[in-house]
Amino acid sequence: MPELPEVEVTRLSFADKIKGAQIQTVQLGKALRWPLGCLPSDLEGLTVSRVNRRGKYLLIELDPSVLIMHLGMSGSLRFETTTAALATVRLHDHFVMQTSRGTLILNDPRRFGAVVFAPTPNSSIFDKLLGRLGVEPLGDDFNSEYLYKALRGRRVSIKQALLGGQIVVGVGNIYASESLFIAGIRPTRSSAKITKKQSTLLHQAIRDTLNRAISVGGSTLQNFSNAMGESGYFQLESFVYARLGEPCRRCKTPIKQIVQGQRSTFFCPICQK
């Protein structure tokens, strides 16, 4: 599943290119996770003012309406600037939006992604999808004191607390494992037992890890690429993720793997306490 860095990398790859574009036509393929919420023709003539992000959701703002987009488990966007883009629709292209500046296409083999129309940011669907999300990990509201207090109120492992999305949004499986390694925290440790010092280390590790991932284009584990078709390289320099049995980059101890909440967790049994 694309995580926050991949979604942000995708946003950055086409946001400036589509800004100011007028929507000309919209074509839908097979049904995605949620219905569009309007007729495709209702979008014709609207202008893209900007592209923002909230957690793992992309927000294509049309002032005042918004297209809320989620990439699901296997989705990816591409932005084609050729006028022949509609003639080259591929298998699993389920949302094709042609604009005056190019064509934005959502490709999603498993169809867990979605594009949902919200008439305004105050629409009920907006609150339903985004209303319960935690703070942005790269925003000003996310600080070590906030993290410490939020973790103290949870009775789950620290890894699960990060993945839940209610405390901080967008720290998915890859980056939670990496951040916990950098902070020296065992992923099975109870979130309620995280100290203030550990919260400070973890807060900084999360921000550093996400920023580092964004700077190298995110992670391409299977078929992720940004909207211009470029792959990410974070997985090539990961400390623990997907490195089962390989030597820890710090102490040379073999990396271990466990399963938490049906997700693989990688950690160093020596460096993480």
119 part of the active site: no
Instruction: Tell me which of 2, 5, 137, 187 is the catalytic residue.
Output: 2
Handedness of CA 151, 152, 155, 159 (dihedral sign): positive
56 part of the active site: yes
In the numeric block, the tokens 């690429």 are attached to 225
Cα–Cα dist 156/232, whole Å:
32
Q: Which residues contact 160 (CB under 8 A, 6 or more apart)?
A: 191, 260, 261
Instruction: Tell me which of 17, 53, 56, 243 is the catalytic residue.
Output: 56
Beta strands in the chain, from DSSP E residues, in sequence order: 23-28, 50-54, 57-61, 66-70, 76-80, 93-99, 102-107, 114-118, 256-260, 263-267
3 part of the active site: yes
- 215-231 in b/e burial notation, b at 16+ Cβ within 10 A? eebbbbeeebbbbeeee
Instruction: Tell me which of 50, 111, 152, 263 is the catalytic residue.
Output: 263
Q: Which residues contact 204 (CB under 8 A, 6 or more apart)?
A: 144, 183
Q: Could you give the residue numbers annotated as active site?
A: 2-3, 56, 263
